[in-house]
Amino acid sequence: MNSLHPPSSERYRFAGFELRVDQGELRRGSETVELQPQPFKVLTLLVRRAGELVTRDQLRDEIWGRETHVDFDRGLNFCIKQVRRALGDDAAEPRFIRTLPRRGYRFVAEVESADSLKAAPAAGSMRRASTVAAAAVGVVLLTLGVTWWFGSAASRDAPVDPAATDMFLRGQHALQQGTSEGLEQGRELLRRATEIAPELAQAHLALARSYMGEASEDTVSEARSALDRALDADPYLAEAWAMRGVMRLDLDWDWAGAEEALSRAVELSPESAGFRHAFARYLSLAGRHEEAIFQIDKAMSLEPVSTALKADGGWYYYLARRFDAAEALCRTTVGLDPANQNAWWCLLQVYQQQGRDRDLLEAAHALARAIDPASRERFETGSDFWRWYASRRDLGVPAASPTHTGLARLGMGDLEGALDLFEEAVAGRSSCALPLGVDPQVDPLRGRPEFAALLARIGAPSSAGSLTD
């Protein structure tokens, strides 16, 4: 268990607050927030173990002592209320302390310690998230990047072997170097960490993510095995469920399995914008548009400054054929990030659907510059842009996927050429083919038997489900 005697300069930051354990002080900006000693101890223990379940018995033992004769339940309830009042938290919609009925509490805000080694978001921050509409599943999985913490089902009740913890840290550091040598060294250290402490779920998960960065057939198999071990060690690890959901959707086209895993991630960590983002993507591709919008709106409310969320939110509104809302989100995005390809793509397709030729040309020129900063192309019509984009594949430009080039062919009126390219995308099991069932731009092909056959191979469900609160 964690001692309540603070080391020197023990401080934590979260959501504008600074908890100065060494000084017994909670601050918000330059102001001191009043908090009595006992509630302060409760907050300290919860923050130190951010992301973990802290049981009521553990709180009693750490703060009151096992032999306490006070009315513990009333005292703890009072402390939790005082902490929530100090943080401006709401028990019904918690941003900091989530109650797990009859079990205990979990601190769910992202925490950064003074030494930066205990950065601990509850089930994963998505500050580094970018578009989840990526072509390669390895890139999609990078959008579920998390800030790692040391919680796991076993380590909540028993300390992890210090040697395993050391190897885990060193493995993470090696992976972050971004070199082939660092990759191999990091994997070896993580493997050794899991051999010493098989219960260290985060080490298994880090190993799985390192393999998915390459996304070859062999490394995908290794990633699946490591991910299974992570969930065996800690079935409440939301990051692992989210990763499993993305893999099942983008690699396996297993729609039911993807929904199960992604909804579980959201259930375990409803305050994670990233997990709601990933679930919104699934729901949008499945044609469950109102549910997708519910999830992406929740995600944007959790991280209101994220341009990645706004751009993808624009896409989900576009796929729901709510074009005005899609335009508003993407215009906001390019106002903040003028080179955001994702938002310009969405605007381009919105304007094409609405027949707004002048706005379409503006988006086409901006998108061309975002794709190729050296571009000096001038387009007189939307078809000119689509021809330019389609020609990039003919020139062997890697970013020109068959799906997107097929959409360009549709923009040129070449339905047969588009069908051939979509067939190539589906045959190659490209994740970029997944939106074909819901994209308004492919409406000219609906009713064609060969296109219907392609959609059947993608296998997206059409039935609606319930919202995840």
- The per-residue pLDDT for 286 is 96
Maximum mean pLDDT: which of 206-210, 226-230, 461-465: 226-230
Per the rule left: phi > 0, alpha: psi between -120 and 50, beta: everything else, 287 is left
The pLDDT-based confidence of 245 (bands split at 50, 70, 90) is very high
Q: 256-275 b/e with 16+ CB inside 10 Å = b?
A: eebbebbbbbbebbbbbbbb
Contact 212, 219 (CB under 8 A): yes
The pLDDT-based confidence of 374 (bands split at 50, 70, 90) is confident
- The per-residue pLDDT for 101 is 82
The pLDDT-based confidence of 138 (bands split at 50, 70, 90) is very low
Report phi then psi at 100, rounded to 5. Answer: -110, 100
The pLDDT-based confidence of 157 (bands split at 50, 70, 90) is very low
The pLDDT-based confidence of 435 (bands split at 50, 70, 90) is very high
The helices-and-strands tally (H runs, E runs) of the chain is 20, 8
- The per-residue pLDDT for 400 is 62
Q: Compute the average pLDDT of residues 246-252.
A: 93
Report phi then psi at 144, rounded to 5. Answer: -95, 30
Q: Compute the average pLDDT of residues 445-465.
A: 83
pTM of the model: 0.68
Topology (CATH) of 11-113: Arc Repressor Mutant, subunit A (1.10.10)
Which of the 8 DSSP states describes residue 6?
A: P
Of the candidate ranges 85-89, 119-123, 251-255, 269-273, the one whose mean pLDDT is the lowest: 119-123
Alpha helices in 128-216 (DSSP H): 137-142, 162-175, 180-196, 201-212
Q: 114-136 b/e with 16+ CB inside 10 Å = b?
A: beeebbbbbbbbbeebbbbbbbb
What is the residue-averaged pLDDT of the chain?
82
306-321: per-residue pLDDT in tens?
999 999 999 999 999 9
The pLDDT-based confidence of 65 (bands split at 50, 70, 90) is low
279-305: per-residue pLDDT in tens?
999 999 999 999 999 999 999 999 998
Residue 149 reports pLDDT greater than 90: no
Per the rule left: phi > 0, alpha: psi between -120 and 50, beta: everything else, 137 is alpha
Percentage of the chain with pLDDT > 90? 51
- The per-residue pLDDT for 273 is 92
- The per-residue pLDDT for 462 is 56
> Is 305-378 a CATH 2.60.40.420 domain?
no
Residue 150 reports pLDDT greater than 60: no
The pLDDT-based confidence of 89 (bands split at 50, 70, 90) is confident
- The per-residue pLDDT for 92 is 79
Q: Compute the average pLDDT of residues 397-419.
A: 84
- The per-residue pLDDT for 217 is 75
Residue 151 reports pLDDT greater than 60: no
Structure-token pair, residue 164: 């395993």
Structure-token pair, residue 349: 């397709």
- The per-residue pLDDT for 180 is 83
Report phi then psi at 291, rounded to 5. Answer: -65, -40
- The per-residue pLDDT for 115 is 47
Three-state DSSP at 202 gives: helix
- The per-residue pLDDT for 117 is 34
- The per-residue pLDDT for 9 is 55
Q: Compute the average pLDDT of residues 422-428.
A: 93
What distance lies between CA 123 and its chain's CA centroid?
A: 10
Residues in the chain: 469
CA atoms of 91 and 83, how far apart (whole Å): 11
Percentage of the chain with pLDDT > 70? 82
Contact 293, 317 (CB under 8 A): yes
- The per-residue pLDDT for 393 is 64
- The per-residue pLDDT for 50 is 87
Of the candidate ranges 312-321, 374-383, 452-461, the one whose mean pLDDT is the lowest: 374-383
- The per-residue pLDDT for 142 is 42
- The per-residue pLDDT for 141 is 46
CA atoms of 58 and 54, how far apart (whole Å): 6
Of the candidate ranges 67-71, 80-84, 87-91, 236-240, the one whose mean pLDDT is the lowest: 67-71
Residue 118 reports pLDDT greater than 50: no
